[in-house]
Amino acid sequence: MFMHNKRLQYTVRVSEPNPRLACMIMEQFGGADGELAAAMRYFTQGLGEDDMGRKDMLLDIATEELSHLEVVGSIVTMLNKGLKAQLAEGQMKEAELYLMVGASGTTAKESILFGGAPALCDSAGVPWTAAYVDSRGEPTVDLRSNIAAEARAKIVYERLINITDDPGVKDALGFLMTREIAHQKSFEKALYAIEHNFPTGKLPGVEKFASMYVNTSQGEGDANGPWNSGDEWDRVDDLEEVMPADGGDGTATVKLAAKDMKVVAKMGERTLSDPASDPTTGADIGAGPGAGRTKNGDMGGAANINEAPAQAEAAARKKTSKAKSR
Amino acid sequence: MFMHNKRLQYTVRVSEPNPRLACMIMEQFGGADGELAAAMRYFTQGLGEDDMGRKDMLLDIATEELSHLEVVGSIVTMLNKGLKAQLAEGQMKEAELYLMVGASGTTAKESILFGGAPALCDSAGVPWTAAYVDSRGEPTVDLRSNIAAEARAKIVYERLINITDDPGVKDALGFLMTREIAHQKSFEKALYAIEHNFPTGKLPGVEKFASMYVNTSQGEGDANGPWNSGDEWDRVDDLEEVMPADGGDGTATVKLAAKDMKVVAKMGERTLSDPASDPTTGADIGAGPGAGRTKNGDMGGAANINEAPAQAEAAARKKTSKAKSR
Amino acid sequence: MFMHNKRLQYTVRVSEPNPRLACMIMEQFGGADGELAAAMRYFTQGLGEDDMGRKDMLLDIATEELSHLEVVGSIVTMLNKGLKAQLAEGQMKEAELYLMVGASGTTAKESILFGGAPALCDSAGVPWTAAYVDSRGEPTVDLRSNIAAEARAKIVYERLINITDDPGVKDALGFLMTREIAHQKSFEKALYAIEHNFPTGKLPGVEKFASMYVNTSQGEGDANGPWNSGDEWDRVDDLEEVMPADGGDGTATVKLAAKDMKVVAKMGERTLSDPASDPTTGADIGAGPGAGRTKNGDMGGAANINEAPAQAEAAARKKTSKAKSR
Amino acid sequence: MFMHNKRLQYTVRVSEPNPRLACMIMEQFGGADGELAAAMRYFTQGLGEDDMGRKDMLLDIATEELSHLEVVGSIVTMLNKGLKAQLAEGQMKEAELYLMVGASGTTAKESILFGGAPALCDSAGVPWTAAYVDSRGEPTVDLRSNIAAEARAKIVYERLINITDDPGVKDALGFLMTREIAHQKSFEKALYAIEHNFPTGKLPGVEKFASMYVNTSQGEGDANGPWNSGDEWDRVDDLEEVMPADGGDGTATVKLAAKDMKVVAKMGERTLSDPASDPTTGADIGAGPGAGRTKNGDMGGAANINEAPAQAEAAARKKTSKAKSR
Amino acid sequence: MFMHNKRLQYTVRVSEPNPRLACMIMEQFGGADGELAAAMRYFTQGLGEDDMGRKDMLLDIATEELSHLEVVGSIVTMLNKGLKAQLAEGQMKEAELYLMVGASGTTAKESILFGGAPALCDSAGVPWTAAYVDSRGEPTVDLRSNIAAEARAKIVYERLINITDDPGVKDALGFLMTREIAHQKSFEKALYAIEHNFPTGKLPGVEKFASMYVNTSQGEGDANGPWNSGDEWDRVDDLEEVMPADGGDGTATVKLAAKDMKVVAKMGERTLSDPASDPTTGADIGAGPGAGRTKNGDMGGAANINEAPAQAEAAARKKTSKAKSR
Amino acid sequence: MFMHNKRLQYTVRVSEPNPRLACMIMEQFGGADGELAAAMRYFTQGLGEDDMGRKDMLLDIATEELSHLEVVGSIVTMLNKGLKAQLAEGQMKEAELYLMVGASGTTAKESILFGGAPALCDSAGVPWTAAYVDSRGEPTVDLRSNIAAEARAKIVYERLINITDDPGVKDALGFLMTREIAHQKSFEKALYAIEHNFPTGKLPGVEKFASMYVNTSQGEGDANGPWNSGDEWDRVDDLEEVMPADGGDGTATVKLAAKDMKVVAKMGERTLSDPASDPTTGADIGAGPGAGRTKNGDMGGAANINEAPAQAEAAARKKTSKAKSR
């Protein structure tokens, strides 16, 4: 069960209103790596977890992330406080308010739709979606996702710190960023406290494919590194070898019942493409008789997009069009 | 630049059509941890990467994931091949086709909207979204996301393998699962080939908050582990200590200009809540005069949802209602 | 700041696993009217609220909704507990597991992607989106949205209760449903504790349009009621009167600068439609010369979709097609 | 069946083009509280309604909302008229057009993707989604949702009016805003014309939980009001009382079959977390041997994010790194 | 199977960084008509296609679109190259960086969340969704969708060209735009190489409805053209004729079993609307006794939204409110 | 302005309730090719159109599509009528209702969330999104999109007809399908009534790239057809020729200012990958010392996923784990 105290986990001291900065910081309120995503990632894992130690840790950190969500939302609220009242009370000139709400994009939505209150949208005004939550119900997998998520959240806070010069906001963002570092460390500990955590899950994989590196992108820029070279790797440079990687012919087949085969054939006939045809097409009609190689002519001299062929072409079109459309 | 050969990276041998299994396997075609998500995660990172070694690796693996997308899509195509033709040609009785398309849910959408062709939806029919792609433009972050993503994809393949008894499908899924293991190893190597990769990014964090563990979830079930105990951690059990964690008062404040303060006050007055009032509400009206404690009465004896109080209550309502509505 | 205790707000006693019921109950975990939507609706309002009484109430109820989210998630976890382990450990026959995961749709996604852990998706497997959260930063508006939201959540629980015969699940759902009733009452009180709460906001509206009822849907079934009849209403039955409702001509106009007008004219010429033309179209080509009134013929006698005209038609097509395509 | 007349319900007189204002007004075209959401909310309810009076009202208002959608779309069209032609005909200098389309965000999308034509996106360029439509098939619920929706739409129009100084646009917005007031009144009448409309639905709820108020958020700022105090409420301040609210132990349990229990145990063993371990983690490796308390040291003096510790730290790293990576 | 070469299909020469232009060009990277949508449209069709000629063409063009995705992503990367490094290394003053990232909207998200790396979002920052992919598994349908999609992509490139004055970017965009023209031609040829491609699919339609044109929108502006006039069309101007178009009564009916009919009646009674009532509503309470015609009075003289009636009205409210709220 | 008559455009006669069929038919109510998508596609185009003839046609057809939306919604309503009442009144046994609502997936959502009323979701329960609407503000483009959209809608109706054996439903679906054919014909006429409609827009394209066909997918299955062969095409088989297609080197470059170059270099150093390293990774730690080639050993004999290596492997793990975790 959750409880709440109206004091924040970190004091928020904003120097002056700044609705545009508010919208940028909403990235950590309703964005992909924001605090709701973090809280919900660990909360859903915690509910589904049987191991008591991990369950406790997941609920500890999920709960703290909710408190962070509250801190971020409070920053947004303070940065918008003046705008919110002005917009609600309509005491300023329209043109001034228009400039204040930011004319279009996130700031407009944040003002017009949400009235300056904190909203679960990211810095572009896109609503939060649970598609961001990558809990998968297997601890050796989920802990890796958590480690990665904390790393992502850390870097987003770092970028926000880099662009903010309000010292109170910067200070609170610094706290939040640091907590992501601490959380990453906890999740790392929890991952490695599971003895065999790689490969994840239970099935070991097919041995010969587990150490194969396929050099799929070739040409200039091909490089070596510990990720594709050395004793651990069987590297494939000749791609024909993996077309296919097994001993088959690289096709896809299915055994169909006779009645299905007959209908498949029927469908094939109905939609048969005649490779020997040279059909007149809608584009041919649409281009007009003299319009060039679309059918069997030449596009003329007008084809450089950096010049201005439009008039000449239009003139050419004028001439030929009546003949055709009827 | 991409090139293509019509042979697959792995031969697909499906024993018999199975449109329901097709829909489940679509999880790895158009799902959150599917091959498109993988390909696009590494492709976007590869484009933005300056380090030539990592760029090459990212494009190698992105390209291979596209080939896996093709293998998965080919499995889906084969499993649907009979259904697709039957639905297109309408040669079966309606009732039989109705059963074949699966009545509702993913299989219905896959049949009716997509005609049995592979579609970028997950196993519940939800369209793929780039919200699944968590590339963030910082290699120490992105490589951790890649490691986690490969771990996730591995476990999803494992589950599909666990529920599939078509040996050809199982075989191909085994190849795909194993490649995720190999890719995870490559990304791990690439991460640790960057000397200082933790904390991610550049800012070090505030020291005292980087080793603090806040025991936010308490009560029975509280547990210790390397993630919250030992020399590395400053553990906070008394939550008052972090309300707030800094030396402030845990409130959120902003310095407003005089004109904003005046309008904020105005807004406060306009929407003032009178705590001493006891207003009649819409619910009071809606419940009716004798409807119990909603306003000033008692809900009666009918309140157990497991019994059937509806009639008695309805009778009670009948009596009282005319007096009121007019 | 949030705190947590690992005891639930209501004890969950599930009689036996039932993964399908679990998916249905996810409607209240990650669905439109589920507990996350409720918690986030009130939490975002609470953060943005200046009135101390309402702020306290909003945070009280937001926090309780998080505890309800936990109860619902715990029900889902229990209903899936067997499936989750079976899928993870792969100890059952594939065909049995295949049946257990439900073959396609939500149950498949819940099993294959989420491994049976609770996920923020609704009963169709659609991820939760903040588009469900309709907080707007004005209390007379938001409290009405809260009242409506509680009403919606109540009815969804009622439906779940109606289809559940596990007594422990039913009991917990009954608690949750009832709390929505209580919350609705709180929000009603808070709305009517604001003296003038209608019309919402500050602008009063244009008097003559505020009591006008436009009878836009006419014909049989036209009805009267207090919503369109009586002294309070100016009813418009002759729709010509409101084409337009003002004294104008019902068109849309803008004053353009000369240079814009010239270009608008130019665009008009370029894309001019010739109403007197009778062009041959792509459909004409595609239908073939004898294919009927598409161009200038007759569709033949085959047009009843309940019969089987396909063969005759195909024969007809055969004849005419060669003449045309080349 | 729907019919249409090309005259608008309200004359639109725009003073001059303003593509940025156009994008803000799109909030009411393709936004959460826009006219499409309104029309579809009432239309879906109307189709499913059996009560002839309510059905007629719902279709009346749904149809009028479509006419409002047309008015809003016409405003957007007029505000964009110059831009649309300029962009299509490419007669201006690139740099001028670039400024005109607004560089990025909604205005860029509206120009580049939609060519200045009205699009069903909100003021941030997010496509409309039916997730905004909260019809639930129960009139006592739906009418409350409609009341709330009209209240929301009213306030959004009010904000748009507050920022617009084009008198023709302001005038049309004033009409639209006022109609929301009128529609709210109709829906209120229809709600209260149902005798017993609270609690919604049919099940009455569990009596003792229907008047309980849980004071979940405590600490400074706790407040009283008619929503939590007075005869109608049983207020819970000691939260232990509702951990849980029933007589149980606040845990979640399920009765598992023996074979499931065995596998659950197996899964527990496989993913067992060793609480007594002190494992070396990926973060430990990534931080380097001298990197401080991540493992067993001290973070050094560099931890103030407001200073510039990067160089010193980098130097420190240099020294220690070779030892480790091999 | 896919292969890759690190050379691009077209050389990208960007004159100088321009993060705002980068975001606009993302429309063709992660937008509705962007290269990923194109690639996935043809790729999914190619996988499902049995006709060898069309399959080859679809995979040819799908593969080329992936190469275009790479070219567009490379343009975005180059335009962001300076910003990306500045943001990562934090060497500029916060206020300068703040201006560089663009304050809010797409540019903010592109900087803060994605760090300046190419992301699968459109020019408004909305993530790509497979909802853009309209493959339907029937070639006569899909080829038309492809033709339309190429037409759309062409015009979006044209608009980007019109606003770009960086010659290198313009040049690459010109190449990409032209390839859409070429691809449209290929798809047109493939469509018309199927002999009978209209109507699509197999069922011919009901003859009398296939040539009927319903003049649903009437009034001033009614126009004639080859789309509604001439021998091919049976035009309906009197809409009563198609209410309904069949010989029935235009209602919707279903035959219900007796037990269902009884419950339908029951539901009707429970939620019966009393058309003769004149209920007091929540809005009546909220407006206050003297607030005008909401219930039975007059709205006063304050109703012009362009004036400032708020104070007078507030005064009026003051007087009347105490009587009521208690 | 829109008007409405409560008679339908086509009489709906449903033989008996069938909630599962209802959900399938929702594909055309709230699905990608459903009637709302059609109506909104033409409506948004109509609003933005200047050509009076096309504007009239677009509004005619948009309005008719709204009437079709009503017909489809009425079918859904009738198919659900019994279920809706049963669920609302709770008169059936829970277990029976549970079966009736369909247990999970669309039917569950349609029942539990929407109460059996028509909802703007597709056959998988995914909410409608304006991402389906591909209007682009250029008539030669939009008309092609309309043609394609009608073709898609036609085929979806055909599939629904193929699986439906309720004659009344089939009859109404036949009407709706046929109207799509008629609408496609109108849009074709309107497209070809514009004289030069190809290439779309105004810029002609770069001549040499407009007739180039790149044979990107090679290997067995390469095929010829009018889409890549013949006088109209310059076919490229040797892909080196188009790496790149221009005379450049196929790289992406940007000219950076000196200060940016310096920071780019700095970022490069900070995140430098050491290609000569052989780092120990998290996976190495996680696999355990004897776990095989992950680091420098062999995966053992357990690697065949079709066998059951789990126990042996677990035993192996037991042995080696203690040594390592500490």
Average pLDDT, chain A: 89
List the helix and strand counts (H, then E) for chain E: 13, 6
**A118-132 CB burial, b ≥16 within 10 A, e <16:** bbbbbbbbbbbbbbb
Query: Identity (one letter) of the amino acid at E235?
Result: R
D265 close to A50: Cβ distance less than 8 angstroms: no
pLDDT band for B289, please (50, 70, 90 cuts). Answer: low
Q: How far does the CA of residue C48 sit from the closest CA of chain B (Å)?
A: 11
Which chain B residues touch F285 with a CB distance below 8 Å? none
Q: What is the pTM of this model?
A: 0.92
C213 close to C234: Cβ distance less than 8 angstroms: yes
Q: For position A102, what pLDDT does the model report?
A: 87
Residue list for the binding site of E for Mn(2+): 35, 65, 68, 150, 183
Mean pLDDT of F37-63: 97
Class of the domain covering A19-192:
mainly alpha
What span, in angstroms and rounded, lies between the C-alpha atoms of F164 and F170? 6
Which percentage of chain E shows pLDDT scores above 70? 88
Task: Using a CB–CB cutoff of 8 Å, tell me whether D308 touches chain B.
Answer: no
Task: Using a CB–CB cutoff of 8 Å, tell me whether C170 touches chain D.
Answer: no
Q: For position F65, what pLDDT does the model report?
A: 98
Task: Using a CB–CB cutoff of 8 Å, tell me whether C10 touches chain A.
Answer: no
- Write the pLDDT tens digit of every residue in F213-267: 999 999 999 999 999 999 999 999 999 999 999 999 999 999 999 999 999 999 9
Q: Is residue A150 a known part of a binding site? A: yes
Inform me whether the pLDDT recorded for A307 exceeds 70: no
pLDDT band for E104, please (50, 70, 90 cuts). Answer: confident
Q: For position C295, what pLDDT does the model report?
A: 42
Which chain D residues touch F64 with a CB distance below 8 Å? 2
Angle of helix C81-89 relative to helix D258-270, nearest 10 degrees?
60
Q: For position F293, what pLDDT does the model report?
A: 54
pLDDT band for B291, please (50, 70, 90 cuts). Answer: low
Quick one: which H or E segment has residue B39? helix B35-48
Euclidean distance between the first and the last CA atom of chain B, given in angstroms as a whole number: 75
Residue recorded with tokens 């084969």 = B78
pLDDT band for B290, please (50, 70, 90 cuts). Answer: low
Inform me whether the pLDDT recorded for A326 exceeds 90: no
Q: For position B26, what pLDDT does the model report?
A: 98
Task: Using a CB–CB cutoff of 8 Å, tell me whether C208 touches chain E.
Answer: yes
F22 close to F79: Cβ distance less than 8 angstroms: yes
Q: How far does the CA of residue D126 sit from the closest CA of chain A (Å)?
A: 6
Q: For position F12, what pLDDT does the model report?
A: 98
Q: For position A230, what pLDDT does the model report?
A: 94
Average pLDDT, chain C: 89
What ipTM does the predicted assembly reach? 0.90
Q: For position C289, what pLDDT does the model report?
A: 65
Residue B8: which residues within 8 A CB-CB, separation 6 or more? A243, A244, A250, A251, A252, B67, B70, B71, B74, E1
Which percentage of chain E shows pLDDT scores above 90? 83
- Cβ contact D305–A170 (<8 Å): yes
Mean pLDDT of B103-126: 95
Which chain D residues touch E242 with a CB distance below 8 Å? 1
Cα-based torsion angle of the residue sequence E20, E24, E29, E33 in order, rounded to the nearest 10 degrees = 170
Inform me whether the pLDDT recorded for E65 exceeds 60: yes
Query: Which has the closest alpha carbon to D123: E244, A124, F145, C236?
Result: A124
Q: Please name the residues between 261 and 300 in chain C that touch chain D, using a CB distance below 8 Å.
A: 263-264, 266-267, 270
Average pLDDT, chain E: 89
Nearest to D30 among F128, F130, F138 (CB): F130
pLDDT band for B146, please (50, 70, 90 cuts). Answer: very high
Q: For position A287, what pLDDT does the model report?
A: 86
Q: For position F290, what pLDDT does the model report?
A: 57
- Report CA E180 to chain centroid distance, whole Å: 20
Burial of E244 (0-12, 13-18, 19+ CB in 10 A): buried
Ramachandran category for residue B209: left, alpha or beta (phi over 0 → left; psi -120 to 50 → alpha) = alpha
- Write the pLDDT tens digit of every residue in E12-21: 999 999 999 9
Mean pLDDT of B309-319: 40
Query: Which has the closest alpha carbon to C69: C145, C131, C12?
Result: C12
Inform me whether the pLDDT recorded for A151 exceeds 80: yes
Nearest to F104 among C23, C217, C280 (CB): C23
What span, in angstroms and rounded, lies between the C-alpha atoms of A159 and A145? 21
Inform me whether the pLDDT recorded for C321 exceeds 70: no
Quick one: which H or E segment has residue F212? strand F212-214
CA distances from A79 to C223, D72, F229 (A): 51, 31, 63
For residue E121, what are the β-bridge partners? E127
Query: Identity (one letter) of the amino acid at E15?
Result: S
Q: Apex CA C240: angle with CA C237 and CA C244, to 5°?
A: 115
Inform me whether the pLDDT recorded for E286 exceeds 70: yes
Q: For position F53, what pLDDT does the model report?
A: 96
- Write the pLDDT tens digit of every residue in A60-103: 999 999 999 999 999 999 999 999 999 999 989 999 999 999 87
Q: For position E289, what pLDDT does the model report?
A: 64
What span, in angstroms and rounded, lies between the C-alpha atoms of F40 and F135? 9
Which chain C residues touch A145 with a CB distance below 8 Å? none
Q: For position D91, what pLDDT does the model report?
A: 87
Which chain D residues touch C210 with a CB distance below 8 Å? 178, 181-182, 185
Q: For position D287, what pLDDT does the model report?
A: 86
Mean pLDDT of B220-244: 95
pLDDT band for F316, please (50, 70, 90 cuts). Answer: very low
Mean pLDDT of C25-29: 98
Strand pairing report for A217-218 and E2-5: parallel
Write out the two tokens for D52: 């002839």
- What would the DSSP string read from start to end of B168-186? HHHHHHHHHHHHHHHHHHH
For residue A253, what are the β-bridge partners? B13
Q: For position D41, what pLDDT does the model report?
A: 98
pLDDT band for A290, please (50, 70, 90 cuts). Answer: low
> Which of F141, F143, F176, F270 would best serve as a mutation to test chain E binding (most E beta carbons within 10 A)?
F141
Mean pLDDT of F196-209: 95
Domain range summary for chain A, segments of one domain joined by +: 19-192, 289-325
Task: Using a CB–CB cutoff of 8 Å, tell me whether F38 touches chain E.
Answer: no
What span, in angstroms and rounded, lies between the C-alpha atoms of E11 and A264? 44
Chains linked to B by 3 or more Cβ pairs within 8 Å: A, C, D, E, F
pLDDT band for B102, please (50, 70, 90 cuts). Answer: confident
What span, in angstroms and rounded, lies between the C-alpha atoms of A202 and F311? 10
Lowest mean pLDDT among C99-113, C285-299, E188-202: C285-299
What span, in angstroms and rounded, lies between the C-alpha atoms of F274 and F278? 9
Closest chain D residue to E94, measured at CA? D306
Task: Using a CB–CB cutoff of 8 Å, tell me whether D188 touches chain E.
Answer: yes
Cα-based torsion angle of the residue sequence B317, B322, B325, B326 in order, rounded to the nearest 10 degrees = 170
Nearest to F225 among E13, E57, E210 (CB): E57
Q: For position E293, what pLDDT does the model report?
A: 54
CA distances from E265 to B288, C82, C193, E258, F265 (A): 23, 42, 39, 11, 77
- Write the pLDDT tens digit of every residue in F103-161: 789 999 999 999 999 999 999 999 999 999 999 999 999 999 999 999 999 999 999 99
Which chain A residues touch B203 with a CB distance below 8 Å? 158, 161, 174, 177
3-state helix, strand, coil split of chain A in percent (to 5) is: 55, 5, 40
Inform me whether the pLDDT recorded for C306 exceeds 80: no
pLDDT band for A262, please (50, 70, 90 cuts). Answer: very high
pLDDT band for A289, please (50, 70, 90 cuts). Answer: low
Q: For position D322, what pLDDT does the model report?
A: 34
Which chain A residues touch C203 with a CB distance below 8 Å? 90
Q: How far does the CA of residue C44 sit from the closest CA of chain E (Å)?
A: 20
A8 close to B244: Cβ distance less than 8 angstroms: yes
Three-state SS at E299: coil
**Omega of the bond leading into C118 within 30 degrees of 0 (cis):** no
Closest chain D residue to E24, measured at CA? D104
